[in-house]
């Protein structure tokens, strides 16, 4: 009766059977012996028909815990003789993608790894960090190998820091499916070239890419122009406004040296006016009323004008208004904002493209936030391969169900 119970619980069917159960109370370990019915024949991948057992090898698989106790399957796995005389080992239906684990156990690891650092997962399941990482890396590699990028038309690319200092990784994502497609070290033009090769390897076509949203990095621009020649480059308005906001803050810091009344206004100047509390809104309005005498107030007005222009939808109107905006700024005495005006002139068409494509890196910024949060919880990652694995686990939307029906 016990054997039948465990066969039902484990999903073991003919020709497999539970041959015995051993529970070590002291070690809190349950071991289930699995055998096959004598005379059974087995199918193997890539060879037609069912084949007789030639001999057997003993295999041990870590399975899901039985209550709080570790559970292992000890299996007498047959090797079969093929028609051509070759010998092939049979893979049981429950065998995982990494030696020594069942599919159910690996599915548990993948689920936990999306929510907590590898070290925490290792403590929960009683494995080493390296074994947990190896399972996740294996699944990511296998799922990526069969991923299809043939329908990808619109992209977003951005960099994020992998460690303190100037150590970066570049992420390229499908802007429509909002999934990460590619992760590589660095943030130069070569990263886009490497993506174009990877896209081809996954059934995609660099010539079919219609648009890409990037920041104003000269390296990214060079890489896109050389490797994605038909892609319209879009600089989304949020990047542009971010530069303008930085210029407002720089102007405030400069002017505050001689005007103490500007102290305490930083966040009131940087946040959206509509999101401010009534008292903060009143303080901001009082500053803006002094636009004739305070350059910080003029810088804030320029930023708001820029936001209003980029909210419009007529391409020619936006182009003309942006150019006039840069003329007005260059004639002013708001020096930090002049750098923004020069940047807009240099990248005018890419910024105007936002009006037509409305393509943004916002979702990729959110993905970067998820990765940075995971990195903080893990107290950093020692290797790029671990970083790459975590990014794909968090945001790759990989189809693990094709590898493991329990990991959908």
Give the C-alpha separation, 258 to 327, whole Å.
28
CB atoms within 10 A of CB 151: 11
Q: How far apart are CA 229 and CA 226, in angstroms?
A: 6
Please give the pLDDT value at position 1: 60
Give the pLDDT band of residue 166 (cuts 50, 70, 90).
low
Instruction: State the Cα–Cα distance between residues 247 and 298, nearest whole angstrom.
Output: 11
pLDDT tens track for 231-252: 999 998 888 999 999 999 999 9
pLDDT for the residue 146: 95
In this model, does residue 121 exceed pLDDT 90? yes
Interval 31-43: pLDDT, tens: 999 999 999 999 8
Share of the chain above pLDDT 70, in %: 99
Indicate if the pLDDT at residue 87 is higher than 90.
Answer: yes
Nearest one of 280, 303, 279 to 291, comparing CA atoms: 303
For residue 60, the model assigns a pLDDT of 96
- pLDDT at 165 (0 to 100): 59
Q: How does pLDDT run across 90-112, given as a tens digit for each residue?
A: 989 889 999 999 999 999 999 99
């Amino acid at each position: 009766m016990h054997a039948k119970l465990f066969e039902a619980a484990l999903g073991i069917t003919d020709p497999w059977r539970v041959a015995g159960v051993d529970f070590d109370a002291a070690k809190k370990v349950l071991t289930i012996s699995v055998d096959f019915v004598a005379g059974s024949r087995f199918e193997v991948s890539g060879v037609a028909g069912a084949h007789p057992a030639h001999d057997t090898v003993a295999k041990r698989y870590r399975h899901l815990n039985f209550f709080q106790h570790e559970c292992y399957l000890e299996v007498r796995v047959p090797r079969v003789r093929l028609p051509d005389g070759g010998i092939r080992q049979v893979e049981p239906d429950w065998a995982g993608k990494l030696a020594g684990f069942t599919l159910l156990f690996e599915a548990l690891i993948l689920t936990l790894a999306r929510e907590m650092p590898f070290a925490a997962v290792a403590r929960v399941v009683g494995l080493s960090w390296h074994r947990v990482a190896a399972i996740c890396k294996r699944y990511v590699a296998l799922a990526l190998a069969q991923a299809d990028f043939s329908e990808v038309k619109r992209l977003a690319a951005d960099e994020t820091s992998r460690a303190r200092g100037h150590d970066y990784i570049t992420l390229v994502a499908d802007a429509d499916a909002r999934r990460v497609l590619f992760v590589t070290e660095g943030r130069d033009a070569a990263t886009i070239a490497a993506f174009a090769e990877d896209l081809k390897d996954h059934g995609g076509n660099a010539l079919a890419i219609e648009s890409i949203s990037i920041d104003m990095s000269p390296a990214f621009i060079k890489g896109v122009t050389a490797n994605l020649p038909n892609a319209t480059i879009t600089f989304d308005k949020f990047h542009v406004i971010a530069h303008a906001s930085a210029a407002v803050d720089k102007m405030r810091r400069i002017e505050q040296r001689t005007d103490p009344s500007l102290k305490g206004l930083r966040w009131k100047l940087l946040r959206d006016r509509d999101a401010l509390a009534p008292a903060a809104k009143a303080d901001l309005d009082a500053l803006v009323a002094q636009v004739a005498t305070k350059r910080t107030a003029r810088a804030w007005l320029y930023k708001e004008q820029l936001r209003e222009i980029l909210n419009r939808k007529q391409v020619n109107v936006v182009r003309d208004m942006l150019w006039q905006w840069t003329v007005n700024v260059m004639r002013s005495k708001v020096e930090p904002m002049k750098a923004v005006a020069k940047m807009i002139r240099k990248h005018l068409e890419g910024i105007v493209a936002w009006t037509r494509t409305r393509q943004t890196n916002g979702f990729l910024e959110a993905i970067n936030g998820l990765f940075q949060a995971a990195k903080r919880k893990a107290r950093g990652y020692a290797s790029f391969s671990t970083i790459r694995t975590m990014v794909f686990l968090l945001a790759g939307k990989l189809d693990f169900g094709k590898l493991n029906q329990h990991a959908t």
